[in-house]
Amino acid sequence: MTTKTVKVPNISCGHCVMTIEREVGELAGVAEVKADHMKKNVTISWDPDATEWAAIEDLMKEINYAPAD
C-alpha cells in the first residue's frame, strides 16, 4: 500500500470533499481517500500494483480537482 498527500487548491466545501472521496475511491486498488477542504489537501492510500498514481492524478484532473505541482 502506498499513501500520498497532495495539495488541491480548489477544494472549497463539503461537496468538493464528497466528490473527490467518491470518485477517486471507486478506482481499482484505492483503499482510502480523505479530502480536507480546510487544509486544501487530499490523502490517498492505494495499491500501486492495481492502479498507478498517473491514473489517480488523471481522474482528479478530469473531475476538476487537479493536484498542485
Among all chains, which residue has been given the C-alpha cell 477542504?
37
Kindly give, in sequence order, each residue whose CB lies less than 8 Å from that of residue 30, ignoring residues fewer than 6 positions away. Answer: 24, 44, 45, 46, 47, 51, 56
User: In CATH, what number does 2-62 get?
Assistant: 3.30.70.100
Per-residue model confidence as pLDDT tens digits over 54-63:
999 999 999 9
Grid cell of 40 as nine digits: 486544501
pLDDT at 65: 96
Amino acid, res. 2: T
pLDDT score of 69 more than 80: no
Which residues lie across from 36 on neighbouring strands? 41
Pick the closest to residue 39 from 68, 1, 2 (CA basis).
68
Per-residue model confidence as pLDDT tens digits over 7-47:
999 999 999 999 999 999 999 999 999 999 999 999 999 99
Indicate the pTM of the whole model.
0.92
